[in-house]
Structure formats: structure tokens, C-alpha cells
Structure 1
């Protein structure tokens, strides 16, 4: 049997690294690095170059019709007198969070109405930059003194953190429109930062800025890739010196071990799941700026350790809100998922490492869809892997007990950061399906139905590729190429690590085969109407997770016990309407050992229906089911609203009482479930 195969490429490099104490940030000069800047292996395409199709387009349309397209109309914090429009309302993170997903959605769907809506905030921000370069909502001091924030009175400014998110918004807007105002705007702001960070460091106002400095670094280095202004690399180094030492922590192991061992109130920001999700990109950014390959090793080490100690079957680490171990009863915050996805998308571009591409798909196709309702108007603050009910309660979360609203599905339940931030998950995934390559080529690094247009080859010839597929549920990905004249360019395809051997077919003729876990390049002269097909046979397998549990997998999808759902609507005076979900069926099944030993013999795959353009991530639309047998464990019961994993021996077998009778059970894609078992105990 395998053990977390998706991270196998990372684990081997994660040993024999010494332990070094973890400081909150590190002073300049802690490494002998020189700023040299390494161009990314892959470069993201301009926003709008990729047009989602099929089920992915429908997902984005649901978001447009739901909270992503209308948050400013239904959520008072963003709606009323907004600070990012010059008002006295929200001037912190939630409005930029929302725009960070609404802006790419507007251009992915080419939705003029939504573009006009988000442009109000972008235009106000661009038009109200202070002469010094400072930007953002009017500060309390500015309102009282009527003096704009500048270098001499930088202390009258406010938190650096929300500006980092708005920079990401502006960067995406620039790639979609080529509005050069963005470049001059960022140049002025970064000059302001370089002059004032020593007197007003990142942590002056909040620790959020210190913990999330990578977001600022990323934008400074992006601008450098365009302007080649050396001061931007100087700024990035200064920002890194004032930020949490994510590279050191990830590489030197004591941090992630400490996070697994301690759940007190000391240094909890270092364990905060969303901070970790953002911090994952820090080593890659440091490598990009310096060329020091040690940073890549630190990333491999840290990501492997993170998933070994805190990883859950759906491809994400626990974070409720702190890192909280690998038991299947731990929760994960929705913000942590979307931020980790974006970090992986950046890491993929910088490193070109296919292991992170596999990790991105696993997280996207499993962890992301389950945590929102079909209409994208309600979300869970925390999801649980083995989630046998969704309800108010205490649960085993590190935060917080008294509110009891962190597991329910509601618009405002839990903390509303996720209501504002959840919109970047699907949108940024869609905009990172393709990247440009060296040699003016294209690379398909994650798969979903879409159409991409780009200029390729020596003469920048426009090519359009229609990617036709029911992936991740189907094994075949088709690429139909269109162009006005033949053009030579390299086309790269990712072969996922879970695929034993892929087959590439060109115009009906077998071109080649390729083992999993690599990228292949087809460099040829392409013609109009060429058809390239990538066949990715999906075998059913099982993987080993926390407490010796086992998960059934097929391709990038993990499968969970299908449980009929009973929904109940409730209302909380402070947090509004919400939904609870309960199973109508028994859930306390173990998988017989014979399934683990020979999964292909005992797991029957059925293609129920194709994932067409009306697909929704729910039980009704589940495209694939897996039928097998299970045995009930009578003593596996709820404790404090969760289902603690039954104790096993070192061979992974539950030794308690088990019903003799085997019963037929059905498994469905994890992302289609709300209540489920995905990490099964193994029984004789």
C-alpha cells in the first residue's frame, strides 16, 4: 500500500536537516545571499487569456450569481460606506479579499457588469494615492488633521497588511487590461515603503503584516520582473528581514514539530493555518530573488513535514485555526485552503516542480468544493475530514469553543474573513491552468475544461487551444488546436504522479507514452485542427493517513462514504441564518483488510454520468461512484460531536468488536459530500 503518494517526491528530501530555534523574524544579513533574480520556470498568462468551459465555467457562473458577484450588496461590512471608496466603513482586509476573487472572476467570464462593479474600487484606489506614494482608505489621522500621510508622518498611516491584498488585486487588473497606471502606482508605493519601513516596520500596527510579508515581497518582485528597478529587490530583502522566518522554519523542522506538540496561546500566529498557507511561498520567493537553491530544499522539507504531521486526506493540512495534527477529526479553515492554493500556483511558476502541481489539484478537487453550498452563498469556517454531522457545537478545534458556529454552513457564521476571501479559490485556479514557457511555448500544468489563447513561436503567432475534458472524473484530456498558419512551439503536458503510464495521441495516432510524476514536451510544428489527446488511466488505490486510517483514491479524487443528507435551517441572532446537515444513514463502517491488499479487485468503479456544463459539486451530480463492502464497528460512536478514529495496532487493524456481516457501501467524490467518512479504519 502507498502512503500519501502525492507528497512522495517531497518526502525523500526532507530528512537529515538540523534543528534551529525559530525566531519570529530575522535581521538583515542572516544569509550570505546576493540579489540576482531568477526568472520563473513558468509565467502566468494574462488574466482573461484562459476562458473556463464546461463544469468549471458553470462553477464560476454560480459564484457570479452568488456572493462573489454580489457581496457588496448583501454584506454590510463591504456594502456600507466602504473605506476603499472613500467612506468610513471597512478599510481593512475584507473588501480587498473580496476583490481578490471578484476581479479575476469578472475577466474570466468577460462579465462587463461585474467589471464595472470592481472597477469602482480600483479606480478610487488609483486616483487617491497620496503624493508620497502611500495609498488606501483615509486614515483617522488624515481625517482629523487634513494632512495626507507622507514620509515625514508615516506613523499616521495604518496597517500594511490590507494593502498587500489590494496590490494583488491591482496586479491582476493590470494583466487583464495593461493599464499602465498600475505600474507607476506600485512604483511610487514601493519607493514610499523603502523610505519608511525602518521607522514603521511591518509589525508596527499588527502582527498580521509581519506574518504575511510574503504577499508584499511577491508584488515587489513581480514589478521588478517588468521594470528591472534594483530598488525593488532591495525592498524585497528588507521586507523579508521584517517578516516571519517561514523559510527557516520550514527548512529546519523544529517549528512544525512544535506546532504539533503545543496548542497554547504562545506564538499562535506562527501556527495559524492561513498564515502558514501564505507563508508556503516564502522560500520560493527567496529563491527567485537570490538564486540560492537552499530555499528550494527548505520548501521541500517543510511541505513534506507539514503534510506528514498535519496532513489530511483531502490534500490540505489541519488549521482550526492553528495547525492541529493529522487526526481525521480536525478542521481546516476555508481561508487556509484558498491561500495554500494560491501559494502553490506561485510556487509552480517559480520552481516548475510537478509535485506541487499534483498537490494543487488534490487540494482543489477535494478540499475546496465541499466547504460551500451549491449556490455559493454559505460557507463553513472549518470543514472536518471525517465529518459525520454539521452543526453547532464545541468540536476539537483550537478556536473558539464559546461561539459554537464554526462548523455550520452560513454566510456570516464563524469569522467573516472566509466570506470575503473564499472567492479567489476557483478563480485563481482557473487562471493558472496554463502557463507560458521558455521558447515561447505553452504548458498545461493543471487540467479542467477551458479554452486558452496565446501568442507562441518565434513570430508570436496566435494559437487557440480548446481543452475538452471531464477531468478530474474522466481519464482523457483532449486539446484541439486552432491557428491561422502552421507554427512551431513547445507544448508541455504534466503527467500526474498518480498515473502509472500516460498515453499521448496526435491526430488519432499514438505519439508516445510517459511515466507519472513528470512533465513532457512536444516540440513540433503544429497545424490548424491538430488534435492532441492525453490519456491518464486512473487506477483505484488506497493511502495511509492519520491514526492508521485508509482513504480510497482514483486519480486526483479521494472518495468518501455516501451518506444521505438531512438539512436543517437555523438562525443565530449575531451570525444570521445557517444550515446544519445530518446523515440519514449509518456511518460507522470499517474497510475489510482485503480491500487494502487488493483494491482493484474489490473496488468497483461506475461512471454514473458525465461532468457536463450543469455539474454541481453535490451528491445528485456525483459523476463517479465506487462500490465496495464494509463492516460496521458497533462501538464507533460520536464523542463531543466528532467520530474519534478507532484504535489500531501497528499493522493498522482495528481489534475491537466488528460485525461479521459485510454490507455493500457506496463511495462518492469527497468534494460532492457534506457529511461523510473518508478516513476509514481497517478491519479483518
Structure 2
């Protein structure tokens, strides 16, 4: 593609002039590493842009484009002013790359020229200003003072490794969308530099953030190896992992997650930090990929199960306020932890092909993600709470109680602004990972939402477009329509969710087969133009058990919460700007009668109140499904320090305190459509 004019400082032009040209070949590969240990992923990611969102998902991304994802550089001063990733003296840390990590995929998913041009300014500056040594990133303070570029003779003149890891993810996505010939040589030069530089300036030289997040660095290096087969790239993972947090060991060693549940002090808090944990989830599969040792997969299985047992919340994410903080429904979760856990699961799915992580991804995405931003995607909530009976200023029972009391309100800059920059990767990366390439040059639909995918398939690499039309996760049918110039044989893999007792597959109106939940099925056939496949996924009602013997109501991939009419109030903080508080207009202190738990199909009535249209928004007004039942009020279940502590139960899970005799009709709606709610109900007689 045509290269753009640089945005660098004139005073540094002398050393930038010595850069290798964009079409230069990478350094010759070394021969120390054994390529036999590299394990190819079960599924391969499709190029960015191969999946195009449609229906409600397209509208969600359009809202993001019109909101902060498309305009953060205009409304947020830290990114807006004299940006270091454009050669200035401003933000040279994580926040600009965080934003680009969501804005770049958004630009190509929507094929939006204005947004493409905007993000290309940062990408082009980064690519055009790599130092001759391979080092890249904003001009460091020492470089400015000495007018000397960072190289292997002055590695310490550089700056933190961590923001570069995020920018590498940005460049990886950009390359899959454009095949820009500059990217692979750029990455190769940097990783060769890093292989030497880490020996004198290890990951923790500048911050512990890089030490805790080394798997993100390794992930991109291994992706590059899968393309170039440069053996030096197989030396780097072991070096980085020797300096990074040992997430694989911790996840496999159950004492770590138990200790995290018991300790909330300042000792080793970085290994309990929820966002670090979310990123660290991918560490075992990254280790597995460059060693072939299946023990790492066992470590992940053990660690993820323990994490969700001890710290899991009904909306599918673990407590992270900011540390892991147990499974009480009054604990919070940081928005960064949600989007980073989603991305880790997307990588885990590709490498392992394990359906259990697909289940986790959908639950997290359709429940935890949408509730934590406003409809216009301009305000975010730093910590969400499962049983959130108000949104307001306060300290709450969080492990990081900000003295400004702004970590629960909805605001653009409320709480730390890392989430304002980082929240954009959630929906965008979920969209780009709806489909994967599969064995036999086939395709795999592993999570479901309305979209259209185009890829070359089969032995003949025949282009095919598959339109996926659905109101999922609210609707129980997914319809696939095939378009192609000529018939082609290829395998189509479909995930049957674990919650589905028995799915039915129809092709062109004829029943093909049924399948039990919790597996991947393959439909191998000679596909023709205008073929139609329908996947029917009946959604049974069920309840699940969570912290303090609470129960949640579920249907399909969605968790349902008590519908509370909302009262919004706008406020202003001198430091953190405008924000919103939200209060319930209705009573919230209901328990679910035991009979509902014993026979949910009998006592829970599902009704479709409105279709899922192309203008759907995750809020009460648009909630398409309602579940009605009865509840009993618990008079003594009251607010304590602005939260609703779970009533005490006996070992049978029944609240034994005073309960109103009268049953009251209550309505439940999808958790993701709520701002204030009860989702984890006590059980009453």
C-alpha cells in the first residue's frame, strides 16, 4: 500500500533516516530452536474483515463507531493531545494502543474509510519510525535528550515493554486485513532485537505490568513464526516466560486461587489483579503451543474451573474489583477484565478447539459485556456488580476503594481510564472470531450472532459466502444461507451448546440429524449455491447455584435478572467529569420460592415481547424476552453500605428469616439489558 508521510519530530529525523526500507528482508533466521515443538492451532483465525456483522450486532458496532470507539482521540485529552504514538510528548503508554486494539478491527469490520484513515495515522507512524536496531514505539525521554536512537548498546534508554505488546496485537490485526508488506519485517526486526535486549533489560525493568502480561508478547511472536518459520522466534518464548509471571503453574496449582480468595492485602496483589488474571488465562495454551506439553492444557482446565468456582459470578465473569475477590454477588468486576478474558478465550478456542471455552465466551459476552456501558457507548462503569441495586458514588466492598468514590458510576472518565481505552476490543474481536478456519480447508461457526462470512474453502479454494441470520442469543434458531459461483465440497463445523439438550440440523428444509449439547459436529457435503442450513437450539429454562447459595435463572446462553424500572441522575466530579447514577424505582428484595427452583419449566413463563430488530440496543426498552414468575419479599434484606449482602441460608439453600407470605408477580429480563437488578436470588419457602 502507499506509504504516508511521517509524523516524527524533526530533531530526530537524522536517526530515523537510517531505518531499513519497508520492503527489506528480515534478518536471516537462527538455527538454535527446535521447530518440532511448535503446535499448530486446531482452528485458524480468519483475516480481519472476512466476517461482516449484520442485524443487531452491526448496529452495536455502528453505535461504537459513532461513540467513543470512533472518536476517543477527539474527546479524551490523554489520547488527543500531542500523542506519543504520533511522535509527540503525550501518551506513549498503553491507552492509545488499547484504543487502537478495538478501533482498528472496528474500522475494517465496518469497512469505514474515515475510521481507517484515522487509525492509519498511528499505524503508519509506528511502522515508519522503527529504530535501526528493531526497537519501536514513542520517542523515549532519553532519546529526546541524547538525540540517539535506542539500540542494543543502550537498551535502557528505551521504555516499558508492555505498551508495545498491545501495539503488536494492533499490527497483527491490521496485517490480516491488509497484508501490508511492512508489518512482517517490522515485527521480525523487533523480535530479533527483543531476543537480545531482554538479556540486559528484562520484562520487569520498567514496570511489573510487562512481567505479568508476557504471554501477550509470546502470542504475537508465535503467530509470526507460523507465517515466516523464523527459528529465532522459537527462542523468544522460553526467554520471555522465564522472566514473566508463571500463570500456567499458578493455574495448575490450586493454592494460588485459594490464596487469592483468602487474601486482600498488598502482598503479591499483581498476581490477584483481575485484568492480569484475564490476560494470564491464555498463558497455558501459549506455553503448550511452543512446547507441545499437554500438561499446560490440564493446568488451564484446573485453573479456569477453580477460578469460576471460587470467584465466579452468574454473568459468566469472575470478581475483579480490582483483585479477585470471591463469589459473593455483591463483588465487582472491572470492564477491562471482561474484554481481556473474552480475548483470552478466543485465543484458547483457536489453539485447543475445546467447546467448554466457547461456552464461557458466549456467557461472558452476552451477559457481562453489554451492561457495563451506556447505550451510546460514551460512558462506562469501571466495576459492575452482579446484584446491583443502585449505581452511585461510594466505596463499596471492593479491594480498590478509590477515595473519590467514582468506581461504580457510569462515566466517561470515572474510575481509571484504562477501561475507557480498552473496552473497544470486546464486541469487535468477538465479531471477528465468530468463525474460524477448520481442518480440511473448512469453516467452523463456534459462537453465534448475525453476520456474513466470506472465505475460500475446499480442495479447490472456492470462494463461498455464508449469511448467518439469527436473533441469537434471544432466538433459538440460526439460519445459514450459502452463496457461491460453483458447488464445492468442504466440512462445516457447528458448535452445539452444552445447555442445549438436543439440537436439530436441517438442510434445505429436510432433517439431517440431531445432536446432544456440549460438542462440535461436522457437516461434510458438496455445498451448492442457495443451500440453506438451519440449526435449531431449543432453550430450556434452568436455574444455577452461585455464591452464598444464591440461584440464577437461565435460558440458553442468557442469565435473567429482576426487571427494575430505572431512575437516572446526572452528576459532575471536578476531577473525573460528568457521570450518571442509576436507582431502582421498584422493590428489589425478592426471594424465589423453592418450587421455582425445583420445577422451573412449570413456574417460569417465557414470553417474546418484541422481535430482535436491526436497531436493537441492550437496554430495558428493547429487551425482547421476558420471564414471569412470582417472588416473596424479604423485609430484612436491606442495603448495607450501598450493597445488598446476600441473606444467610441453611445448608439446603433456604433463607430461614422472615418472609412475606404473599407471592408477588415479578418479571425477569436478560441481565445484559439491565443497569440495576437482582440476578442471584435467595431461595425461600
- Normalised by the shorter chain, which TM-score bucket? over 0.9
Aligned residue number for residue 59 of structure 1: 60
Aligned residue number for residue 573 of structure 1: 574
Q: TM-score, normalised by structure 2?
A: 0.95
Q: Is the 8 A contact 2:35 2:234 kept in 1?
A: no
Q: Distance in 2 between matches of 1:321 and 1:34?
A: 39
Aligned residue number for residue 548 of structure 1: 549
Cα 1:401/1:416, change in 2 over 3 Å: closer
Aligned residue number for residue 273 of structure 1: 274
Please give the residue correspondences for 1:188-207 in structure 2 after superposition, counting only pairs within 5 Å: 188-207=189-208
Aligned residue number for residue 510 of structure 2: 509
Q: Distance in 2 between matches of 1:180 and 1:86?
A: 22
Q: CA deviation at 1:180?
A: 1.7
Aligned residue number for residue 418 of structure 2: 417
Aligned residue number for residue 399 of structure 2: 398
Q: Is the 8 A contact 2:406 2:415 kept in 1?
A: yes
Aligned residue number for residue 86 of structure 1: 87
Q: Is the 8 A contact 1:316 1:367 kept in 2?
A: yes
Q: Is the 8 A contact 2:333 2:384 kept in 1?
A: yes
Q: Distance in 2 between matches of 1:215 and 1:653?
A: 45
Q: Distance in 2 between matches of 1:600 and 1:654?
A: 22
Aligned residue number for residue 662 of structure 1: 663
Q: Is the 8 A contact 1:34 1:290 kept in 2?
A: no
Please give the residue correspondences for 1:81-160 in structure 2 after superposition, counting only pairs within 5 Å: 81-160=82-161
Q: CA deviation at 1:35?
A: 6.2
Please give the residue correspondences for 1:346-357 in structure 2 after superposition, counting only pairs within 5 Å: 346-357=347-358
Q: CA deviation at 1:611?
A: 1.2
Deviation track 1:374-430 (CA, whole Å, cap 9, x = no partner) reads: 000000000000000000001000002412000000000000000000000000000
Q: Secondary structure at the match of 1:389?
A: coil
Aligned residue number for residue 46 of structure 1: 47
Q: Distance in 2 between matches of 1:35 and 1:64?
A: 43
Aligned residue number for residue 460 of structure 1: 461
Q: Secondary structure at the match of 1:643?
A: coil
Q: Distance in 2 between matches of 1:176 and 1:364?
A: 24
Please give the residue correspondences for 1:585-664 in structure 2 after superposition, counting only pairs within 5 Å: 585-664=586-665
Deviation track 1:157-191 (CA, whole Å, cap 9, x = no partner) reads: 10000000000000000000001210000000000
Q: TM-score, normalised by structure 1?
A: 0.95
Q: CA deviation at 1:34?
A: 8.8
Q: CA deviation at 1:480?
A: 0.2
Structure 1 gap ranges (5+): 1-32
Structure 2 gap ranges (5+): 1-33
Deviation track 1:287-343 (CA, whole Å, cap 9, x = no partner) reads: 111110000000000000000000000000000000000000000000000000000
For these two proteins, the number of residue pairs brought into alignment is 653
Q: Distance in 2 between matches of 1:507 and 1:585?
A: 48
Q: Is the 8 A contact 1:253 1:305 kept in 2?
A: yes
Q: Is the 8 A contact 1:98 1:423 kept in 2?
A: yes
Q: Distance in 1 between matches of 2:610 and 2:298?
A: 43
Q: CA deviation at 1:206?
A: 0.2
Aligned residue number for residue 378 of structure 1: 379
Q: Is the 8 A contact 1:365 1:557 kept in 2?
A: yes
Q: Secondary structure at the match of 1:265?
A: coil
Q: Distance in 2 between matches of 1:240 and 1:394?
A: 37
Deviation track 1:99-144 (CA, whole Å, cap 9, x = no partner) reads: 0000000000000000000000000000000000000000000000
Q: Is the 8 A contact 1:35 1:233 kept in 2?
A: no
Q: Distance in 1 between matches of 2:66 and 2:35?
A: 48
* Aligned Cα root-mean-square deviation (Å): 0.9
Q: Distance in 2 between matches of 1:240 and 1:457?
A: 38
Q: Is the 8 A contact 1:260 1:325 kept in 2?
A: yes
Q: Is the 8 A contact 2:101 2:170 kept in 1?
A: yes
